[in-house]
């Protein structure tokens, strides 16, 4: 088996993105912060995993957040040998504000930690910056997000890593194409049909 994993804070739009890319509705009727079980779809020998959303969710206790984070780290470590791609999804509208809030308190933002971890463990990592339809200064914002995650701006030098998208508006072609290219790179173009949607 080979695997693609999606990771991201709760509410960044992971379910919406999943539906756009694969035409599958996941996490039906489940409230965020109530389940740790990842959602998975399989296509031939490819597993695509939507990991549970991490980070603080209002109304959910801290202990649950820690359990989710531990689960994600353990899951990725245990399956590292079959993971061919990890996609971290962030909310382009709120990422910087949340990251700076944690930095002011002296913490490393969990999304920064997660991105570093994924890069250590996975052979390829993409950053999907979602909700770009809500971002007023896209280039400025993307530069700042890149910098926070250790990529020297301008973000446009990182177009093979950073994919600004709007899952809700169906604007995900850049990311869809990059996933296709990754499948071609590992000589598995037979798996491309798992990506539903417009031809490109
Ligand atoms: P998840 O918790 O990461 O799975 O997030 P969901 O897919 O459930 O989305 C959380 C909220 O963000 C929902 O209200 C979505 O409609 C909204 N959302 C998702 N993608 C986008 C986007 O690209 N733009 C905007 N403006 N909202 C989005």
pLDDT digits (tens, 9 = 90+) for 93-127: 999 999 999 999 999 999 999 999 999 999 999 99
Atom 22 in ligand 1: which residue has the minimum CA distance? 131
Give the CB-side neighbour count of residue 137, counting CA atoms within 13 A. Answer: 6
User: Residue 119: which residues within 8 A CB-CB, separation 6 or more?
Assistant: 125
pLDDT above 50 for 90: yes
For residue 186, report the distance from its CA to the centre of ligand 1, in Å. Answer: 31
Whether 139 contacts 154, CB under 8 Å: yes
| Phi–psi pair at 141, nearest 5 degrees | -65, -45
Give the per-residue pLDDT at 34: 66
**Which residue out of 5, 16, 39, 56 has the highest number of ligand 1 atoms within 8 Å of its CB and is therefore the one to mutate?**
16
- Of the pLDDT bands very low, low, confident and very high (cuts 50, 70, 90), residue 197 is low
Measured by CA distance, the residue closest to atom 25 of ligand 1 is 131
Average pLDDT, the chain: 92
pLDDT of residue 177: 98
Residues 50-70 have a mean pLDDT of 83
Instruction: Tell me, using a 6 A CB cutoff, whether residue 13 lines ligand 1.
Output: yes
Q: What was the pLDDT predicted at 4?
A: 98
Query: 31 versus 14: which is more confidently predicted?
Result: 14
Q: For ligand 1, atom 24, name the residue with the nearest CA.
A: 131
User: Among 73, 80, 81, 2, which residue's Cα sits nearest to residue 42?
Assistant: 2
The answer, yes or no, to whether the previous bond of 154 is cis (omega within 30 of 0) is: yes
First to last CA, the chain: 27
Q: Is the CB of 133 under 6 A from ligand 1?
A: yes
Identify the pLDDT of residue 190.
98
Ligand 1 center–CA 165 separation, angstroms: 11
- Which pTM does this prediction carry? 0.95
| pLDDT class of 36 with cuts at 50, 70, 90 | confident
**What is the number of the ligand 1 atom nearest to the C-alpha of 16?**
7
**φ, ψ (nearest 5 deg) of residue 22:** -115, -5
Ligand 1 close to Cβ of residue 168 (< 6 A): yes
The confidence band for 200, taking pLDDT boundaries of 50, 70 and 90, is very low
3-state SS string over the chain? CEEEEEEEECCCCHHHHHHHHHCCCCCCCCCCCCCCCCEEEEECCEEEEECCCECCCCCCCHHHHHHHHHHHHHHHHHCCCCEEEEEEEEECCCHHHHHHHHHHCCCCCHHHHHHHHHHHHCCCEEEEEECHHHCCCHHHHHHHHHHHCCCCCCHHHHCCCEEECECCCCECHHHHHHHHHHHHHCCCHHHHHHCCCCCC
Closest approach atom of ligand 1 to CA 27:
4
């Amino acid at each position: 088996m080979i695997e693609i994993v999606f990771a991201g804070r709760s509410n960044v739009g992971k379910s919406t993105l999943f539906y756009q890319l694969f035409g599958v509705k996941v996490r039906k009727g489940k409230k965020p912060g109530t389940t740790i079980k990842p959602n998975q779809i399989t296509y031939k020998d490819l597993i695509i995993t939507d990991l549970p959303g991490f980070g603080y969710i209002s109304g959910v206790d801290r202990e649950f957040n820690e359990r989710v984070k531990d689960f994600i780290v353990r899951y990725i470590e245990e399956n590292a040998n079959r993971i061919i791609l990890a996609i971290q999804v962030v909310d382009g509208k709120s990422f910087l504000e949340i990251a700076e809030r944690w930095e002011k308190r002296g913490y490393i933002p969990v999304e920064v930690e997660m991105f570093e971890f994924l890069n250590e463990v996975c052979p390829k990592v993409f950053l999907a910056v979602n909700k770009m339809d809500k971002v007023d200064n896209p280039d400025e914002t993307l530069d700042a997000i890149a910098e926070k995650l250790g990529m020297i701006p301008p973000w446009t030098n990182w177009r093979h890593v950073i994919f600004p998208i709007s899952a809700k508006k169906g604007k995900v072609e850049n990311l869809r194409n990059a996933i296709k290219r990754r499948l071609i790179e590992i000589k598995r173009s037979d798996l491309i049909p798992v990506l539903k949607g417009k031809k490109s």
